[in-house]
Amino acid sequence: METPTTYLQWGFLVISLPNLMLILGMIVVFVVALLAPFPAEPDDLDDEAAAAGQPGRDTGQQDRSSGQPDRSVGQRNG
Amino acid sequence: MTGTSSSAAWSGAAVSRRTVPYDLVRELVLALIGSAALIAILAAVLSSPDVPPLTIQAWAQHDPVDFVTTAVDELAGQSMSAAYGPPYTHGDGSVQSIGPFSPQTWAGVRIPVDPARDFVLAPLSDAAPGNPTVGSALAQYDAASASQQSAWLDAYSKALGSAQASDGHVVVAAGNYGPLPQMMDALLAIARTGGMDGLLLRSGRFYQTDFTRPLLFMGDGTYLAGLAQEAHLLGNQWGMMNETGSYPGQSWLWLYTLLYQIPPFNTSASADLGVVVTMGVLTLLLILVPYIPILRDIPRWIPVHRLIWRRWYREYARGAGSPRARSHGA
Amino acid sequence: MPAEVSQVRPRETRAARRRPNWTAAVRDRIARALPIERLLPERQPAYVGSWVYVFGVVAIASLIWVVASGVVLSFFGPGWWHISRVGRFVNSIHFWAVQLFFVFTVLHLWGQYFAASWRNGRAATWMVGVVIFLVSLVAAFTGYLSQQNLDAQWIAVNAKDAVNATGAGAFFNVLDFGQMYGVHVMLFPALVVTLVAVHLILVRMRGVVHPIDAPPEVAEVVEAAGEVPGAAEPAATAADITPAASGPAS
């Protein structure tokens, strides 16, 4: 690791092999994270809810049933 | 909790508000264990970069001609440091500006450096008591007129262009250099013993941690820059994101480094200021993304979010058709 | 105060005359803003189910290792790791933990950008996140300057011009090892850790942003809590901001 590494060049773009590997690795990790299935935890409430004819537990944080549809990513920021 | 969700009059609403078990603390603990394992393996197998620092002693031993040339430049006021300007000197050689905007000058000379005195004359004075040759050479130099000093420095600088190193000395063609050859020979001898490394750090106080003087002096030579070039660390080599050896560097500086390679920055005398201002503006844009149309809308146009939340979109669609259909129909 | 009034409602009057208790006010304000159940919830909205959500946690885990290895390095002094095998290993931990921290911080930034996670009252969370990244850059920079090797020497010599050009060089001397080492082991870790704590508190206060194009009932009630600068929505009603309505998911 103490020996000088290889540098790759395309026009004015220059990058060392370790830096390139790191950045490519990041892109791979990002894509894998997007595509890989995320393990779901077993939900005891699902069973209760199914027994009661409900699809699961509601969250109090999400207790809004009125308001405008979320049409824009940026409109209601802040 | 409200009654509307439990009524489940519309199953899509229930799906949209459903929660699932999630263990944040367990996730953090697993992340700690996983990252520790990865870091420990990388550290054990690959170690970390550590090319020893350059000393003035090593510089003087390996490239005495460059050392003496740099010292003569300092004495003549021709070095980069001598002409630098704020915060070190009163010159303007390295002062950057965009039009009238020149923040470098605002605080003035806050870290005063006098290259001729600090890098050459003071170290020689310190050596003079034990060395009569140095004492008389310094006395001759001090007694000479400014124009005489310049003439000697000019001639000696030119002669150094074809100087040879021989047995720890720098040999130049015969000429009228006044006391300069004796002074520089003494300075080189001090440096080769390691004395200069200490003398340039001397502050009059016992403890010190400020390496401004030795680093400025070394930066004025070409030897340190040559080592940096071999390691691909120069600015025009994208050096800011590189590391010595075969290690990844500060790859997060890729954009900052890239700007130095392209017009107008790659030819500008005020490249640093231009790049810093540009990066400042880009950074402000990144901070303010939530408020900037187009920038905040791009994630909507590039449907990466469809992958992040694909399970939810699928469940939701099963529960109530598409989310959009639901929002329009509500 | 007339005697008959105090005889009629003695308790209420005493309560009204009591000096307001700032401690209780602060405690109640904190409890309303971030109840413990919301700080450490055991359930998340159903849309929270992607490896993309793990990036931030791994970045924090890496930061913990950066700080832990940094504490060991600072305890033995800046010269130790150059002459000791154990020191070199601890430095290597520090080095790779920093690399991992930046890798996962940037991945987290990518993920949150594509999720447009500043929506619905979360712009402050985004902005603090970007500031953490910036402060981390300077923290890493001062770390590279503190290495006491060729790399540190060259970075100092090369970077001084950019720092001087901004005017900061007059006060932030990259050639002064003592100053750079001091800010690296004290100021910047404290800044980064504090900002990360603020970031986490904001994340927990607002909850995880809902999917783009989700129907309005998915958006959490906090968006209407009147704390949202620039919100296009009308101001919240009193009912919207009661603790019950904005309470934890339980």
Q: Is the pLDDT of residue B150 over 80?
A: yes
d(CA C64, CA C57): 11
Q: Searching chain A, which residue's CA lies closest to the CA of residue B231?
A: A4
Q: What angle in degrees, to the nearest 10, is found between the helix axes of C54-76 and B24-46? A: 50
For residues C137 and B253, the answer to whether their CB atoms sit within 8 Å is yes
The Cα diameter of chain B in Å comes to 104
pLDDT tens, position by position, C43-77: 998 899 999 999 999 999 999 999 999 999 999 99
Is the Cβ pair C246, A61 closer than 8 Å? yes
Which residues in B lie closer than 8 A to residue C153 (C-beta atoms)? 53-54, 215, 218, 224
The CATH number assigned to the domain holding C195 equals 1.20.810.10
Enter the DSSP assignment of B19. Answer: E
Q: Supply the Cα-derived Rg of chain A in whole angstroms.
A: 24
Is the Cβ pair A33, C219 closer than 8 Å? no
Let me know whether C156 and C94 are in one domain: no
Q: What is the pLDDT of residue C3?
A: 46
d(CA C177, CA C146): 6
Q: Is the pLDDT of residue C219 over 80?
A: no
Q: Is the pLDDT of residue B12 over 50?
A: no
**How would residue B15 be classed by pLDDT, with cut points 50, 70 and 90?**
low
Q: Could you tell me which residues come within 8 angstroms of residue B83 by beta carbon, excluding any fewer than 6 positions away?
A: B77, B89, B91, B92, B93, B94
Is the Cα dihedral B127, B129, B134, B140 positive or negative? positive
Let me know whether C120 and C151 are in one domain: yes
d(CA C187, CA C195): 12
Q: Is the pLDDT of residue C222 over 80?
A: no
d(CA B317, CA C45): 16
Give the A:C interface size as CB pairs under 8 Å.
117
Q: Give the distance, in angstroms, between the CA of residue B99 and the centroid of all CA atoms in the same chain.
A: 25
Let me know whether C120 and C97 are in one domain: no
Number of domains in chain C: 2
pLDDT tens, position by position, B78-88: 999 999 999 99
pLDDT tens, position by position, C132-160: 999 999 999 999 999 999 999 999 999 99
Which residues in A lie closer than 8 A to residue C52 (C-beta atoms)? 33-34
d(CA C113, CA C133): 14
B276-303 residues labelled b (16+ CB within 10 A) or e (exposed): bbebeeebeebbbbbbeeeebeebbeee
One-letter amino acid at B94 equals S
- Lowest mean pLDDT segment, chosen from A44-48, A49-53, B317-321, C137-141: A49-53
Testing the interface with C: which of B252, B297, B306 to mutate, by most C Cβ within 10 A? Answer: B252
**How would residue A45 be classed by pLDDT, with cut points 50, 70 and 90?**
low
Q: Is residue C26 a part of any domain in this protein?
A: no
d(CA C197, CA B300): 29
Q: Is C130 exposed, middle or buried, given 0-12, 13-18 or 19+ CB atoms closer than 10 A? A: middle
Q: What angle in degrees, to the nearest 10, is found between the helix axes of B271-287 and C123-145? A: 150
For residues C202 and C124, the answer to whether their CB atoms sit within 8 Å is yes
pLDDT tens, position by position, A54-77: 444 444 443 333 333 344 444 444
**How would residue C243 be classed by pLDDT, with cut points 50, 70 and 90?**
very low
Q: Give the distance, in angstroms, between the CA of residue C102 and the centroid of all CA atoms in the same chain.
A: 15
**How would residue A48 be classed by pLDDT, with cut points 50, 70 and 90?**
low
Q: Searching chain B, which residue's CA lies closest to the CA of residue C143?
A: B250
Question: For chain B, how far is it from start to end, CA to CA, in angstroms?
Answer: 20
Q: Is residue C42 a part of any domain in this protein?
A: no
Coarse DSSP helix, strand, coil percentages of chain C, rounded to the nearest 5 percent: 70, 0, 30
Give the A:B interface size as CB pairs under 8 Å.
127
Let me know whether C125 and C192 are in one domain: yes
What are the domain boundaries of chain A?
Answer: 1-36
Question: How many other β-carbons are positioned within 10 Å of the β-carbon of residue C25?
Answer: 10
Q: Is C4 on the interface with B (CB under 8 A)?
A: no
d(CA B120, CA B216): 13
> C-alpha angle C59/C60/C64, rounded to 5°?
115
Is the Cβ pair C213, A56 closer than 8 Å? no
Let me know whether C145 and C70 are in one domain: no
Question: How many other β-carbons are positioned within 10 Å of the β-carbon of residue C91?
Answer: 24
Q: Is residue C91 a part of any domain in this protein?
A: yes
Q: Report the length, in residues, of chain C.
A: 250
Q: Could you tell me which residues come within 8 angstroms of residue B296 by beta carbon, excluding any fewer than 6 positions away?
A: A73, A74, A77, B289, B290, C116, C118
**ipTM of model:** 0.91
d(CA B249, CA B241): 5
Q: Could you tell me which residues come within 8 angstroms of residue B3 by beta carbon, excluding any fewer than 6 positions away?
A: none
For residues C215 and B330, the answer to whether their CB atoms sit within 8 Å is yes
Torsion of CA B270, B74, B218, B181, to 10 degrees: 150
Domain holding C66, by residue range, is: 49-101
Is the Cβ pair B17, A58 closer than 8 Å? yes
Chains that touch A (3 or more CB pairs under 8 A): B, C
